[in-house]
Amino acid sequence: MRSINRFRPVFYVLLSVYALITFVPFLWALSASFKSLPEIVSGGIHFIPKHFTLDNYQTIFKQEPLFSRWFLNSAFIAISVTIFNLLFNSMAGYALARIRFPGSTLMFYSILAMIMIPGQLTIIPSYLIIKELGWLNSYQAIIVPMAAQATYIFMMRQFFISFPKELEEAAELDGLGRFGLFFKVVLPLAKPALAAQTIFIFMGAWNEFLKPLMLMSDKSMFTLSVGLNTFKGQYISFWNYIMAASIIMTIPALLIYIFFNRFFVQGITFTGTK
C-alpha cells in the first residue's frame, strides 16, 4: 500500500492523460459542429468556437429532408429490435433454464453452437432470403432477422438458472400458469438482466452498419449510420455539417449508456462480448 501512495500522483496523471485522449476527438467534433465553415477552414486549434452557431444543426434538419427520416428509421428499428429481443430472448432463456421438454437439450446446444457462428457467413444467404421474401427496403428486413439473438438467449438462461425457484413455486401454488408465472413473476424480477440486454441490443441495432447498407437501396429507408456515410459523400468538405450529424447520432446511444451505466459491467461479464 505504501508504494501505491508514493506513486499515487503518477497514476492520477496517467488516468487524466488517457481521459484527455478519450475526450479530445469528441470535443473536437462537438466544437466543429458549432463553428461556421469559414472558421473551420481558417484553421488553428481552438476548441471554443469564436462565433457560436446552431446553423449546422438547422441546416441538416431543414435542407436535408431525409436526415430526420433517417433518424426516425434508426429509432424505430432500434426500439423494435430491442423490444422483440427482450421478450423472445427471455422466453427462450426461461424455457431452457426451467422447463423440461423433449428437445430442450438439443436446442440448448444448438444455441451454444450458434453463438460461435460468425455473422459474415450469413450475410449473403440472408440477403437472398430477404430478397425472395420481397422484404428489401423494408423495416422488417432488418428487424425480423435481428429479433432474437443466441448470445442473449444464453445470457438469460444463465440468469434464470441462478434465479430462486421458491418464488415461482409459491406463485404456482397460487394457481398461475406458465405464462402468468413468466410475465407476472419472473420477468419483473429479471430487471437487471433485461437492462443489461437493453443497452447492448439497442446500441447494436442503433449502430448497425452492414445490414442497412446491404438491405436498403432506397435513400428514404437508410438508417442514420448509412445515411451519415452518404452525407459524407455529398457534403465532402462541409465538416461542420458532417460533425453536427455525427453528434446527433451519438446522443441517443450516449443517453442510454448514461441511464443504464450501472448494468454495463454486469452485462459484459455475463456475455463476455460487446
Helix, strand, coil shares of the chain as percentages rounded to 5?
75, 0, 25
- Interface residue with other proteins among 17, 54, 72, 117 (CB under 8 A) is 117
91 touches other proteins by CB under 8 A? yes
Distance of CA 36 to the CA centre of its chain: 31
CA gap 158, 226 in Å, rounded:
35
Minimum CB distance to other proteins, residue 273 (Å)? 7
- Find the helix or strand (DSSP H, E) in which 129 lies: helix 120-132
239 touches other proteins by CB under 8 A? yes
Residues 12-41 interacting with other proteins (rule: CB under 8 A)? 12, 14-15, 18-19, 21-26, 28-29, 32
- Interface residue with other proteins among 17, 54, 72, 114 (CB under 8 A) is 114
- Interface residue with other proteins among 11, 50, 63, 140 (CB under 8 A) is 11
244 touches other proteins by CB under 8 A? no
Toward other proteins, which CB reaches closer, 8 or 51? 8
Task: Give one word for 136, left, alpha or beta, with left for phi > 0 and alpha for psi -120 to 50.
Answer: beta
CA gap 208, 173 in Å, rounded:
45
Toward other proteins, which CB reaches closer, 65 or 273? 273
Report which DSSP code applies to 63: T
- Interface residue with other proteins among 7, 50, 51, 184 (CB under 8 A) is 7
CA gap 199, 190 in Å, rounded:
15
137 phi and psi angles, rounded to 5 deg: 60, 35
Toward other proteins, which CB reaches closer, 63 or 229? 229
119 touches other proteins by CB under 8 A? yes
- Amino acid present at 100: R
Residues 188-207 interacting with other proteins (rule: CB under 8 A)? 203, 206-207
